[in-house]
Amino acid sequence: MDIKTLIKGLHHVTATVNEVQEDVDFYTKLMCLRLVKETVNFDNENVYHFYYGNEIGSPSTIFTTFPYKGQGVRDGVIGTGQVYETVFSVPDGALQFWTKRLKTQGIDARIENRFGRNFLIFDDPSGLKLSIVEDDADKREPVWSTGEIARENAIIGIHSVVLAVEDTLETMRFLNDFGYDIIKSDDKYSLFETVEKGAGNSLILLDGSGLPKGINGLGTVHHVAHRVDTIEDSLKIKAYLEDVYGISVTEVKDRKYFRSIYFRVPGNVLFEIATSGPGFLVDELKDELGSSLKLPDWQEVRRDQIQKDLVPFDR
């Protein structure tokens, strides 16, 4: 069986972050993403799960966070076996705007050239590594125009994720089977794309020699999710990974806005495969997305208690 065309590209990136308010402010006010869903971690209802994205939270534009401050989670270490950096795309010419914007906000940033392109690299308030790259071929709708950022400068969505691994060859072989073809390499980085190609459908593999071993915790990416059209496709991939690689893959989990399975790739990065649908409009109208706490039915029964235990924040 060949699963190579089933993975369409990225779905979302999920990170463990620190404080609630600084997270909301950074992603909605500085990055100008839209908070498309305020819910809780379905596996730990004391912690928010924020979904940021474009106007409707289209797959491949979604960046999600668990603000774990005060919940006994230690600081993480960014390193191998993890998503090392999350890359966002902007239209051609917008990098200058972002360089200035970050500087005005007192955020240190530097440019690194990879594959002949400039990546503007900086940290979020929790220490997560982010970057912005210009991509004129990215035809997705820009994220969310708040009036503060003109359309020609607005973030379009997630461009790619940088995976740091100790054994690049082993991971390359896996990615090639899984659905990502190698496009180009330089001395440290290799660029991969799915059949759908381009921004939102790309991965960058970083040779992790000399990097520390990644440790899960505050300020680290927890997992990266890839999108498929249907749950049947997820199940085909699960069967393939179990048969061919002996990888243990979780059962299907109902994430309300998508259905997911999880596993660790050779190289130890936690991958999720999520269905493109049903999406964020299942429990809110488009105009109201992210405007109030939404809970799945199984947690709705405890809403009062859940709400009382959560840290209040300003939008």
Interface residue with Zn ion among 23, 38, 134, 272 (CB under 5 A) is 272
Under the criterion CB under 5 A, does residue 89 sit at the interface with Zn ion? no
Our CB check for Zn ion shows the closer of 121 and 225 to be 225
As a whole number of angstroms, the distance between CA 238 and CA 236 comes to 5
Q: Minimum distance from CB of 96 to Zn ion (Å)?
A: 33
Q: Which is nearer to Zn ion, 245 or 262 (CB)?
A: 262
Residue closer to Zn ion, measured from CB, 218 or 270: 270
Residue 209 CB, shortest distance to Zn ion, in Å, is 28
Q: If binding means CB under 5 A, how many residues of this protein chain bind Zn ion? A: 3
CB of 11 to Zn ion, least distance (A): 8
Answer for the pair 186, 171: CB distance below 8 angstroms, yes or no. no
Tell me whether residue 51 or residue 240 sits nearer to Zn ion (CB atom).
Answer: 51
Q: Considering the complex, state which of residue 19 and residue 272 has its C-beta at the smaller distance from Zn ion.
A: 272
CB 51, min distance to Zn ion, A: 10
Q: Work out how close the CB of 157 gets to Zn ion at its nearest, in angstroms, rounded to a whole number.
A: 16
Write each residue from 219 to 238 as x if it is in contact with Zn ion (CB under 5 A), else as -, in one continuous string.
------x-------------
| Residue type, position 35, single letter | L
275 binds Zn ion (CB under 5 A): no
Among 7, 13, 14, 220, binds Zn ion (CB under 5 A): 14
* Residues composing the chain: 315
Q: Is 273 in the site for Zn ion (CB under 5 A)?
A: no
To Zn ion, the closest distance from the beta carbon of 222 in angstroms equals: 8
**CB of 129 or CB of 256, closer to Zn ion:** 256
**Nearest residue (CB) to Zn ion, 248 versus 250:** 250
What's the min distance (Å) between Cβ of 167 and Zn ion? 25
Residues that bind Zn ion (CB under 5 A): 14, 225, 272
